[in-house]
Amino acid sequence: MIPNLRGRRRHAETPAPGLIAGNRRTSGPVQRIARRLIARHGFTFAGIVVGLWFLSGLASAANAANASVFLEDQTWTELRDRINAGTTTIIVPIGGTEQSGPAMALGKHNVRVKFLAEKIAGQLGNALVAPVISYVPEGTIDPPSAHMRFPGTITISDEIFEQLLASAARSFRLHGFKTIVLIGDHGGYQADERHVADRLNAEWSKSPVRVFAALQYYQITQGAYVDKLLSAGARQSEIGTHAGLADTSLMLAIDPSMVRKDRLAAAPKLDAGDGVYGGDPARSSAEFGQLGVDMIVSGTTEAIREFARQQPK
């Protein structure tokens, strides 16, 4: 018997169940495209699904890049288009690689400043975040001073650090950014940030581009955050200046994997010999730290907005 090829062809070209609702064809855009492809080119429904899935994946990837505030997630054309559309503020997060006692990882500043910079950029709405600068002044090598007395700390000179910041700022100006914001998570280079901003702003006085050393970011951790901790039940003797309760709590709120919780309260008590200065991290908590996160993000965001309001057009 000769097979009914015409019948098979009609069956093969019948739209899949998703394209017909009862006796009436559905009219969504995907269904209309699928019907045309089936009628004109003999594509199978499965092939169409795979094709549409692939295209939707490309669209999702593009949307993810546009949703990210991190410069390094963009292609150069995506970045160009975002700058042309009005995203002309770039935040330069500055961290540091240094010891923070036996209970906190060496990359504390880098992880923390990236997290907070992302939050600040999100609140601003017209800002991107540059890659974290993780090589910063940390003391001398010969003889070793400050945190350089502990393995893992990396240092560069103040001169090289300021040149690095200035070169980054010049790069951002070249590509169309108008407001270049420096935020530093470490106290040791706050003056360097201000020096760079002052020099470049004087040099660029006849252009609309400005550099803002957002020192408020760090000042909040030393003032308003401490006051908030005290009102929330922390003791002055616990807060410390480095790797104490205030510092460690911020890290617990942002990335607890960076903190060795089993070492916080274990004997012997951590002290200056361990790299913990002026405090006790034993009662550190994410709840304490979140107080600082909220204050740093809101306070720094408002400082940047105020700077932008005063910026020449």
Average pLDDT of every residue of the chain:
87
Is residue 232 scored above 70 in pLDDT? yes
Residue 54 has pLDDT above 70, yes or no: no
pLDDT for the residue numbered 313: 78
Angle at 163 between CA 157 and CA 164, to 5 degrees: 90
Report the pLDDT value the prediction gives residue 67, as an integer from 0 to 100. 87
94 within 8 A of 132, measured Cβ to Cβ: yes
Query: What is the reported pLDDT for 11?
Result: 43
The predicted pLDDT at position 105 comes to 98
> Are the C-beta atoms of residues 182 and 167 closer than 8 Å to each other?
no
Is residue 161's pLDDT more than 60?
A: yes
Q: What percent of the chain has pLDDT over 70?
A: 79
Give the residue-averaged pLDDT of 83-97: 98
Domains of the chain (ranges plus CATH)?
A: 63-310 (3.40.50.10310)
Mean pLDDT score, 140-152: 97
Q: Is the pLDDT of residue 246 over 50?
A: yes
Query: Token digits for 79?
Result: 């970045």
pLDDT at 252: 98
pLDDT at residue number 250? 98
Classify burial at 146, counting beta carbons within 10 Å of its beta carbon; exposed 0-12, middle 13-18, buried 19 or more: middle
Residue owning tokens 């955050």: 225
